[in-house]
């Protein structure tokens, strides 16, 4: 379909040979001379307490211990481990207020796992044994696990900045009446013929990236702090650490390590402040801080759980007239990105269907649950679970086909996307729906399963989604990129955005090679350390290819422009009549005429003046392309998922038989990598809707912080998967590409819930939909044929 030679191919991943042989170095694999080992002592007994007494002496005397540091030994400054504050404009920042509420070591424990003090020892084991000797006395405080509890009058205030423990609600100046949307929702709802409404609960899901967080930090003799971290956002972490420790940014160096999975958990910082505080206590010695799985579980932010109300009104002909929604999510003990999901859950809602009136209110309340923050999908699976089930309830009442209804009413080109005023430049959702429906056998199966008998019932369901490619215009979208041409006409690219394993660096290399007209293997792309790489906000919001790829493309275009200009002088042909392929520059109209790129790049670097004639040998100077790029748009991707399930009506067990994921991704730069994103997303989406949830006891202690107790879909649980890449080039994205990193997870959620509805005629308002809930629903409501529901009769 394309004229491109490299973009659109399954170019070999740049990082996988090292990963296949075990040579890839993750943070925990780093060994440095003189290395010491850190351990953060955490509060495991309480989720809410004050530290009455802290005695470090016995631990300090423990064998192998070098230093023990508590709250008084570190900066009293507070920080926010998330990074939203660095990504918003000053006026928006003012709306958020003071959101730096995390101390390095706390005297007010706000969640189980809060950091109390740190131990630096000669081995990890010695540090762990010393940790057991720390004496802490706590004064327990009331534990608030829900918004209802923490906003109750008289509740302990988490921070004076946020009265009522309301961490965030949509701010009035930007969102009148604290609501996103517009129009007379109540009036429109009164005029509706059919209204569907329910209160839902969405679960707290864990990213479960396979590499537990680990760090190395070191202060050198010049006072420079270096931190090896697998953060998704090295440049923002550099600024955060500089600010926290009062260092100029040139004295803080971030070395990004190979990332063992992110899914949002590495957005911003987790234990970098503690690792660096320890390094500052033992200058000259690197300190390695490795977290344990059970520790990683409680200290890294998870998906926002909470209550989600929604009400949708339709005219009898199916026209949607109003949507009213409210998402009340439970933060953990600290703010982090409380503004994020509370907003985006509504943004995805607003971006999906052409509701003439819409009111969405999003609120975040502090609780004593573990921290919540970024998780792949960022509010989208929550909205998908609620919105897509209510749409199907409406379709059942209306007697409408869920695919046809969606095709008629989803937003498309020219409509406002998730951000009002930013319209969709492309949308191939109809194609996704058509091709997905054909792949799963929609029409036939919908008819067949509408009337069934027996213990085992089948159903098929559909759900759609929209997402984003980068967070413009809400958040900063800035990427700097440098491409340097070596004397042998190979290219080296510096680009600070991390590859979390999704293959972004491979795809970016493809974009670069394609743009330059160089072979794939003659281009190198490196994330670089913070002191050499230019600015980049990091890998989040599915932005790396759409924004980063555009930056790489622009930088390469600049290098290419210089190359062609020099060739033009040599060939005596205007630059716009030249092209490059396989490092050979040629005249488009006369391809036999040309010059090797290497002749130009070599002459630029090894530049001499002929001693006999005084003539310069070509144009001097090494060619470099540089761009400081700000994304002009966010070209949202769309997707449709189709699920076929089997429900055992005697046990409530749900088996997903097939999952078709059809996604409008604009253009697949590396199709295998794109498929990998969508397939991996399915596994997490199925977990959200069917099996995954972090549980707390009444005291706020997590009950399932292990893979023994928290169950994800394994290889035998996964359904048959069909991935359909709908390639309809976006007019803005690089080579037409839109994002894919988060999308795959989202619509399987609604599709599975709707397939269950189709199979047994019951909807479930609490995720995950476990066999326990299904059986309860069946015993209370009885299995009923989908065909017997009002609108279908």
Partner 1 sequence: MSSRTLPEFDLLLPQSIPEAVELLATHGGRITVMAGGTDVMVALKFSQQPAQLPEYVMSLEYVPGLAYVLYDPAKGLRVGAKATVADLLESPDVKQHYRSLWDAAQVFATGQVRNTATVLGNLLRASPAGDCSCAIYAIGGTVAFQGRAGRREVDIDDFWISYGQTARQPDELAVELVLPPPAAGTHSAFRRLTRTSEDLAKLNVAVQLRMSGETCVEARVAMGCVAPTPLRLKQTEAQLCGKALTAEVLERAAAAVAGEISPIDDKRSTAEYRRQVSGVLLRRTIRQACGVA
Partner 2 sequence: MKDRNITLHINGEAHSLTVTVNRTLLDVLRDELGMTETKYGCGTGECGACTVLVEGKAVNSCLTLAATMDGKRITTVAGLSDFGRLDHIQQAFVDEAAIQCGYCTPGMVMKTASLLAKNPDPSEAEIRHALEGNICRCTGYEKIVKAVKKAAQTMPGRAAAVEPCKEAVQ
List active site positions: 742
User: Among residues 349 and 545, whose Cβ is nearest to partner 2?
Assistant: 545
Tokens of 357: 């009136």
Q: How far is the CB of 22 from partner 2 (least distance, A)?
A: 2
What kind and span of H or E run contains 721? Answer: strand 720-726
Minimum distance of partner 2 from residue 314's CB (angstroms): 35
User: Please, which residues bridge with residue 523 across strands?
Assistant: 491
Nearer to partner 2, 637 or 680 (CB): 680
Region binding partner 1 by CB under 8 A among candidate stretches 19-27, 145-153, 504-512, 772-780: 772-780
**CA-CA distances (angstroms) from residue 648 to 7, 457, 693, 775?**
46, 7, 22, 9
Burial 637-674 (b: 16+ CB within 10 A, else e): bbbbbbbbbbbbbeebebebebbbbbbbbbbbbbbebb
The verdict on 673 binding partner 2 (CB under 8 A) reads yes
Of 71, 356, 771, 791, the residue at the interface with partner 1 (CB under 8 A) is 771
Cβ-contact 670, 12 below 8 angstroms: no
Q: Is the dihedral of CA 719, 725, 726, 731 positive or negative?
A: positive
Structure tokens, 127: 């540090």
Count residues near partner 2 (CB under 8 A). Answer: 58
Residue with smaller CB distance to partner 2, 307 or 711: 711
Q: Report, in Å, the least distance between residue 45 CB and partner 2.
A: 21
683 binds, among partner 2, partner 1, none (CB under 5 to 8 A by kind): partner 2
When binding is defined by CB under 8 A, the residue of 158, 263, 375, 688 that contacts partner 2 is 263
Q: Tell me which residues in 678-697 interact with partner 2 (CB under 8 A).
A: 679-684
x/- track of binding to partner 1 for residues 649-688 (CB under 8 A): -xxxx-----------------------------------
Q: Is 16 in the site for partner 2 (CB under 8 A)?
A: yes
d(CA 123, CA 106): 25
What residues contact residue 469 under an 8 Å CB cut-off, 6+ apart? 541, 542, 543, 545, 546, 547, 633, 634, 635, 636, 637, 733, 738, 739
293 near partner 1, rule: CB under 8 A: yes
Instruction: Work out whether strand 287-290 and strand 36-42 pair parallel, antiparallel, or are unpaired.
Output: parallel
Based on CB atoms, which residue is closest to partner 2, 240 or 376? 376
29 binds partner 1 (CB under 8 A): no
Could you give the maximum distance between any two Cα atoms of the chain, in Å? 99
Measure CA 432 to chain center: 23
The answer to the question of residue 58 lying near partner 1 (CB under 8 A) is no
Q: In whole angstroms, what is the distance from residue 779 CA to residue 788 CA?
A: 18
Decide: 412 and 426 in contact? Cβ < 8 Å.
no
Q: How far is the CB of 209 from partner 1 (least distance, A)?
A: 16
Residue 703 interacts with, from partner 1, partner 2, none (CB under 5-8 Å by kind): partner 1
Angstrom distances, CA of residue 553 to CA of 410, 534, 650: 32, 16, 57
Span near partner 2 by CB under 8 A; candidates 500-508, 522-530, 550-558, 563-571: 500-508
Kindly state whether residue 31 participates in binding partner 1, applying the rule CB under 8 A. no
Question: 576 is in the binding site of which of partner 1, partner 2, none (Cβ under 5 to 8 A by kind)?
Answer: none
Crossing angle of the two packed helices 442-449 and 743-760, in degrees rounded to 10: 30
**DSSP assigned state of 789:** S
- Is 31 near partner 2 (CB under 8 A)? yes
Contact between 718 and partner 2 per CB under 8 A: yes
The residue within the footprint of partner 2, chosen from 73, 124, 161, 766 (CB under 8 A), is: 124
Query: With left for phi above 0 and alpha for psi between -120 and 50, is residue 64 left, alpha or beta?
Result: left
CA 525 to chain centre: 22
Among 149, 672, 783, 787, binds partner 2 (CB under 8 A): 672
Task: Give the interface with partner 2 as residue ranges (CB under 8 A).
Answer: 10, 12-13, 15-26, 28-29, 31, 123-124, 207-212, 258-263, 290, 292-293, 500-503, 672-673, 675-676, 679-684, 706-708, 712, 714-716, 718, 721
Task: Give the interface with partner 1 as residue ranges (CB under 8 A).
Answer: 124-125, 128-129, 132, 292-295, 650-653, 691, 695, 703-704, 706, 708-709, 711-714, 716-717, 770-772, 775-776, 779
């Amino acid at each position: 379909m394309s004229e491109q030679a490299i973009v659109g191919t399954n170019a070999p991943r740049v990082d996988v040979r090292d990963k296949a042989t075990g040579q890839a170095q993750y943070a925990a694999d780093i060994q440095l001379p003189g290395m010491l080992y850190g351990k953060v002592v955490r509060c495991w007994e309480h989720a809410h307490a004050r530290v009455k007494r802290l005695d470090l002496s016995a631990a300090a005397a423990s064998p192998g211990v070098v230093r023990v540091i508590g709250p008084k030994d570190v900066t009293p400054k507070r920080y926010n481990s998330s990074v939203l504050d660095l990504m918003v404009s000053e006026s928006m920042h003012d709306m958020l207020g003071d959101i730096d509420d995390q101390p390095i070591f706390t005297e007010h424990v706000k969640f189980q796992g809060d950091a109390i003090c740190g131990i630096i020892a000669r081995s990890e084991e010695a540090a762990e044994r010393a940790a057991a000797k720390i004496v802490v006395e706590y004064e327990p405080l009331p534990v608030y696990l829900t918004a209802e509890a923490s906003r109750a009058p008289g509740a302990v205030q988490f921070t004076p900045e946020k009265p009522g423990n309301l961490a965030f609600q949509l701010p009035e100046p930007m969102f009148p009446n604290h609501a996103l949307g517009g129009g007379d929702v109540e009036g429109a709802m009164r005029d509706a013929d059919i209204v569907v409404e329910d209160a839902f609960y969405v679960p707290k899901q864990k990213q479960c990236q396979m590499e537990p967080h680990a760090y190395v930090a070191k202060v050198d003799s010049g006072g420079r702090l270096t931190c090896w971290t697998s953060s998704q956002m090295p440049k923002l972490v550099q600024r955060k650490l500089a600010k926290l420790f009062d260092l100029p940014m040139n004295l803080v160096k971030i070395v990004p390590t190979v990332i063992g999975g992110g899914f949002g958990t590495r957005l911003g910082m987790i234990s970098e402040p503690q690792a660096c505080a320890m390094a500052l206590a033992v200058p000259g010695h690197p300190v390695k801080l490795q977290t344990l799985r059970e520790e990683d579980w409680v200290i890294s932010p998870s998906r926002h759980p909470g209550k989600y109300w929604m009400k949708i009104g339709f005219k009898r002909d199916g026209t949607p007239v109003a949507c009213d929604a409210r998402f009340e999510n439970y933060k953990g003990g600290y703010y982090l990105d409380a503004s994020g999901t509370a907003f985006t859950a509504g943004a995805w809602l607003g971006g999906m269907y052409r509701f003439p009136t819409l009111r969405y209110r999003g609120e975040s309340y502090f609780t004593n649950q573990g921290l919540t923050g970024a998780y792949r999908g960022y509010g989208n699976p929550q909205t998908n679970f609620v919105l897509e089930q209510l749409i199907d309830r409406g379709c059942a009442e209306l007697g409408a086909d869920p695919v046809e209804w969606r095709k008629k009413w989803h937003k498309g080109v020219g409509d406002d996307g998730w951000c009002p005023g930013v319209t969709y430049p492309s949308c191939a959702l109809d194609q996704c729906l058509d091709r997905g429906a054909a792949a799963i056998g929609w029409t036939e199966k919908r008819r067949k399963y509408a009337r069934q008998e027996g213990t085992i019932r089948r159903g098929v369901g559909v759900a759609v989604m929209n997402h984003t490619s980068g967070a413009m215009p809400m958040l900063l979208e800035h990427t700097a990129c440098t491409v340097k041409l070596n004397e042998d006409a190979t290219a080296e690219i510096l680009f600070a955005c991390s590859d979390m394993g999704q293959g972004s660096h491979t795809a970016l290399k493809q974009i670069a090679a394609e743009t330059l007209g160089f072979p794939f293997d003659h281009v190198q792309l490196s994330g670089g350390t913070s002191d050499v790489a230019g600015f980049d906000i990091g890998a989040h919001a599915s932005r790396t290819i759409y924004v980063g790829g555009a930056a790489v493309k622009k930088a390469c275009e600049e290098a290419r422009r210089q190359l062609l200009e020099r060739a033009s002088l040599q060939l005596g042909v205007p630059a716009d009549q030249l092209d490059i392929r396989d490092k050979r520059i040629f005249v488009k109209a006369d391809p036999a005429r040309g010059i090797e790129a290497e002749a130009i790049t070599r002459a630029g670097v090894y530049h001499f003046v002929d001693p006999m004639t005084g003539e310069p040998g070509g144009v001097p100077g090494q060619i470099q392309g540089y761009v400081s790029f700000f994304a002009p748009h966010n070209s949202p991707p769309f997707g449709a998922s189709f699920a076929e399930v089997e429900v055992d009506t005697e046990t409530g067990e749900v088996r997903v038989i097939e999952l078709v994921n059809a996604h409008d991704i604009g253009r697949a730069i590396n199709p295998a990598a794109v498929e990998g994103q969508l397939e991996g997303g399915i596994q997490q989406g199925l977990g959200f809707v069917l099996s995954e949830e972090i549980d707390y006891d009444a005291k706020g202690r997590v009950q399932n912080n292990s893979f023994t107790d928290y169950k994800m879909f394994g290889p035998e649980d996964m359904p048959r998967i069909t991935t359909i890449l709908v390639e309809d080039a976006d007019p803005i994205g690089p080579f037409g590409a839109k994002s894919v990193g988060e999308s795959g997870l989202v619509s399987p959620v609604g599709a599975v819930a709707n397939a269950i509805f189709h199979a047994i005629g019951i909807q479930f308002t609490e995720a995950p939909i476990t066999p326990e809930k299904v059986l309860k629903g069946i015993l209370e409501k009885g299995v009923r044929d989908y065909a017997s529901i009002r609108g279908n009769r």
